């Protein structure tokens, strides 16, 4: 089963950013670049990559959405020197959200936005097991603050064989966070680890389309299932928002094969076929690919 893939929306920098991120971490590389023509954003580069062996995708599709800390990427390290080296590279043109230093939960930790605005949490874990190097972390703020536990259980109900665990809750004296809300939760969907937190501090951001999560589906039945379970608003081109405002893409695996292996004409036909769609229709995409 293919893993859920983080998808990053850039203005024009998808290729540049993907190459930059691949240069930062071991076992990382750009795997494919496809240009989509005549979209509402003009010509768009779609970039596939692997970061520490995990799939990522990025698109250059105009300045519609901006990254913010509502979704960040938690990177685990066995040595403090590795953290120092990555922190130095991410700091150039970036913004520190939590200073790199010692905290009650780690001997070395820091939270930073890089030069593109993407948020990273770097943490020293010593000899603790690292099952997944990079973990997407969701920050529930504003109207959805206090809903982390509900959301984690909801996602676990949607995906088969999912696991969810509340690791820490806020206690008395940790205001403005409400006692009992989630300080950190860990959950696994399709073998992909995620984290989630509540924060009642005043934040001027929320989930948006700058970061979405692609659910690869081999069949139309799977697309229909996830669409029905998750879709609450803002449907277009396989994208949807769930009831918490988080963006997902319910995407057929066949479209990746078409984009990687198709001729220029086939890619253009498939692009024009899916642009008017809300939920993807595999049969229509296949007919477009064949020129029928």
Q: Where in the chain are the domains?
A: 5-61+209-290, 71-198
**pLDDT tens per residue, range 41-54:** 899 999 999 999 99
* Separation of alpha carbons 196 and 125, rounded Å: 18
Do the domains at 5-61+209-290 and 71-198 have one common CATH topology? no
Find the mean pLDDT for residues 166-191.
95
State the CB neighbour count (10 A cutoff) for residue 59. 19
Domain 5-61+209-290 sits in CATH at: 3.10.180.10
Looking at the predicted structure, is the pLDDT value of residue 1 above 70? no
Q: Which residues contact 68 (CB under 8 A, 6 or more apart)?
A: 117, 119, 205, 206, 208, 210
Find the mean pLDDT for residues 111-124.
98
pTM, 2 dp: 0.95
* Separation of alpha carbons 94 and 279, rounded Å: 37
**What is the predicted pLDDT for the residue at 223?**
96
Residue 201: Cβ-neighbour burial (10 angstroms; 0-12, 13-18, 19+): exposed
DSSP for 219-276, written as a single string = SHHHHHHHHHHH--EEEETTEEE-TTS-EEEEEEHHHHHHHHHS-HHHHHHHHHHHTT
Which of left, alpha, beta for 128 (phi over 0: left; psi -120 to 50: alpha)? beta
Domain 71-198 sits in CATH at: 3.30.720.110
**pLDDT tens per residue, range 125-148:** 998 889 999 999 999 999 999 999
Looking at the predicted structure, is the pLDDT value of residue 280 above 90? yes
CA distances from 70 to 85, 255, 276, 284 (A): 25, 29, 29, 35
């Amino acid at each position: 089963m293919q893993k859920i893939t983080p998808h990053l929306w850039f203005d024009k920098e998808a290729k540049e950013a993907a190459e930059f991120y691949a240069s930062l971490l071991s076992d990382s590389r750009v795997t494919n670049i496809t240009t989509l023509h005549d979209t509402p954003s003009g010509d768009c580069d779609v970039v596939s990559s692997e970061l520490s062996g995990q799939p990522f995708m990025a698109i250059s599709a105009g300045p519609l959405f901006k990254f913010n800390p509502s979704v960040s990427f938690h990177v685990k390290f066995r040595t403090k020197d590795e953290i120092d080296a990555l922190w130095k590279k991410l700091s150039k043109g970036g913004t520190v959200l939590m200073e790199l230093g010692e905290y009650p939960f780690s001997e070395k930790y820091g939270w930073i936005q890089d030069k593109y605005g993407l948020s990273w949490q770097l943490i020293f874990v010593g000899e603790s097991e690292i099952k997944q190097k990079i973990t997407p972390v969701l920050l529930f703020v504003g109207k959805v603050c206090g809903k982390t536990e509900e959301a984690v259980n909801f996602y676990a109900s949607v995906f088969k064989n999912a696991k969810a665990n509340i690791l820490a809750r806020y206690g008395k004296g940790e205001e403005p966070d409400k006692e009992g809300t989630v300080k950190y939760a860990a959950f696994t969907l399709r073998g992909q680890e995620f984290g989630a937190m509540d924060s009642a501090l005043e934040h001027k951001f929320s989930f948006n389309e700058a970061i979405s999560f692609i659910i690869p589906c081999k069949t139309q039945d799977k697309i229909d299932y996830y669409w029905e379970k998750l879709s609450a608003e803002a449907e277009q081109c396989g994208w949807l928002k769930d009831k918490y405002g988080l963006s997902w893409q319910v995407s057929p695996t066949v479209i990746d094969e078409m984009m990687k292996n198709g001729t220029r004409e086939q890619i253009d036909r498939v692009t024009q076929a899916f642009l008017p769609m809300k939920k993807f229709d595999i049969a229509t995409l296949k007919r477009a690919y064949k020129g029928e």
